[in-house]
Chain A
């Protein structure tokens, strides 16, 4: 009885404030305001009508679910408790679900989906609910299927490094499990205190270590998932190499919950580096940033673990809104690069990094710089990069874009937007992100102002068209969710989208899994 009173909404609020402090990668798409509550539902915001195919939830359905769940706490219908599940962490997308189910086993997930499929009840699979494109929350009254109660670690092989666990395991708890064993999760993002590994896989999450370890597509060895009709698909192999038939797990990875519900994962985890060094460099042109990247890959190759960049506007914003932050160098520069190396031999890594730094200094690729091996300074350098999102959010309305662009156009879009928006709404255009992966976070801030449709019109569809023209991606790592279904065509051809539709039709003929997401109407 006591446990039920600790409502989910309290829990989510704590997570939100933690996220605001630590979130690193940026959202994309139209806009975000800093107001904490809004009554606009996603349906109204994106003008999405409820699909007539879906039935409405009734009392009989709830009795059936209660029987399947066998545990009262797994079935949530109380209005207060539903709030947290119905909106995303940015408080931008609000749905209207009347029911949250929290199964404890794959078998329960199977029974739930089988029933929903027969009854034509729409379902939103939800992990840590930390997504940035409204993919994890209902648009209308879809049932929320939360994986949070499925959080056991099953097995760890210390020779292969393969970890087998439930989809609802929180990323940080996996890291805490692996650390004393000398291993680490191959991905790292600001939301690690709340995001779940199943969601990370379903969204093919990127993060700051992708440069070193690759994406989820590379690191997931096996998946156990449940299809829309309740069929359990067991592809939970822990093998590094397995070329037997179509690689089905890759379909689920990145599908954003529209092709199946991932219930278990087998992930390849690398050994945890024991020596970490971070260099913070500055230069006056983006050409120099590119040169630093080329040399870093050549000279630091095997120990390079992160290469991020930020422009001067980002530093200004952080200095303005983060009381602990300080100007890193004596002068201000146009670009800043954060370079991290991690390895297993302190001396060897130190020497390699030193040669690299000596080299780039002598070739005048750096205007100024510093480097540190102690945790305190490393954390301070990372904070400069990781608090950009939060600082922009504090300043006013932000229009965020998460793009992949070819290197020769990478920073051009920022300059182009600066020109295009010059003198309008006191706006500030910032560029930062995983330049090592070709992923730019373009953020346009209108300080002290609210979201403005006319201003948005100056940005969209221009940014998407620019990206499309240069064969870039309109969503490098955040996914499509509910936010970018209508922009999908900018980065995928019609034939590709058609093929996606056929796959969706085959795997989920009644379309009950996460409707209104990913594929355009």
Chain B
């Protein structure tokens, strides 16, 4: 396919037997990873020790792009393409709320990978998802293009590399071709729109214009609270999520200094000269 993911492909061999099995298998399963992030409207404050951003007592929500991914998966189910939608999230117990939100929207099952307070990085997440792909055997993995906390935009691509599956990122339209076991994805790129076709299993990352997520119905929200989630740890899956990257410090950008008021054009010129601007 078009995207070259050989950088990672050389480290991890794809299991070709899986591909054959998927074509014979008629039930389409969609795996949707969702991330719990700081709500976009919150005014971010850096911790005094500069190790990161303040998250205590701060409003958290589902990553907007991930919500779009969940919505797309559910629409596939409603259109008759997918038979099962599984939502998965990594993090402490609190991420279960995010998984339940996805179930309230229409996902069938939820998996919580308990990682406690571990600092998760895209590569670690991708490794866990690779293992889940091997056990859950989805036909499609749909992710949000990036998380609004780190803006990394890496997990989908790394996962594709690890699994050696085709990928289409920044999807603004997805069309499933069940007969040919393939999916046509229109993606937003700098030059305009690019349309790719790829055989499943495949990985898609979603962009803003793909869809507008539905409001979960009250009854479904209530039901989702009682839904049983499958809880596992990275150790259970035999995956090492330790970080290869160390954060040295996190700082706020330099504050804008206030302007000064002047009384005449001459003063403007004077000040501009003083600050070596003219």
Contact = CB atoms under 8 A, between A and B. Distances in A.
A and B together in one complex: yes
A208 interface: no
Contacts of B43: 179-180
B59 A274 contact: yes
Contact of A375 (B61, B215, B219, B222): B61
Contacts of A408: none
A361 B219 contact: yes
A1 B57 CA distance: 49
Given A2-B265, A275-B59, A354-B225, A371 B218 contact: yes
Interface in A239-282: 274-276, 279-281
Contacts of A346: 57, 59
Interface string B61-75: 110100000000000
B39 interface: yes
Contacts of A438: none
A370 B218 contact: yes
Interface residues of A, number: 30
Contacts of A2: 265
B40 interface: yes
Contacts of A368: 217-218
Contacts of B39: 374-375
A369 B217 CA distance: 6
B221 interface: yes
Contacts of A329: 215, 217
B219 A328 contact: no
B264 A372 contact: no
Contacts of B41: 375-376, 379
24 contacts: A179-B43, A180-B43, A274-B59, A279-B218, A326-B212, A346-B59, A354-B225, A357-B221, A357-B222, A358-B222, A361-B219, A361-B222, A368-B217, A370-B216, A370-B218, A370-B221, A371-B221, A372-B215, A373-B59, A375-B40, A375-B42, A375-B59, A376-B40, A376-B64
Interface of B: 39-43, 57-59, 61-62, 64, 212, 215-219, 221-222, 225, 264-265
A328 B215 contact: yes
A452 interface: no
Interface string A1-13: 1100000000000
B219 to A, nearest CB: 6
A377 interface: yes
A168 to B, nearest CB: 18
A279 to B, nearest CB: 8
A376 B40 CA distance: 8
Nearest to B220: A370
B153 to A, nearest CB: 20
A123 interface: no
A144 interface: no
Contacts of B265: 1-2
A370 to B, nearest CB: 4
B59 A366 contact: no
Given A274-B59, A361-B219, A376-B61, 8 more contacts: A274-B58, A275-B59, A357-B222, A361-B218, A371-B218, A373-B61, A375-B61, A376-B41
A378 B26 CA distance: 40
Which among A180, A368, A372, A376 has the highest number of chain B CB atoms within 10 Å? A376
A328 B57 CA distance: 30
Contacts of B62: 374
Nearest to B64: A376
B57 A377 contact: no
Nearest to A362: B222
A215 B215 CA distance: 33
A377 B219 CA distance: 18
Among A180, A281, A371, A374: residue with most chain B CB under 10 A:
A374
B59 A377 contact: no
Contacts of A375: 39-42, 59, 61
Select the residue from B39, B62, B212, B264 with max chain A CB neighbours within 10 A. B39
Contacts of B42: 375
A186 B149 CA distance: 31
Contacts of B57: 274, 346
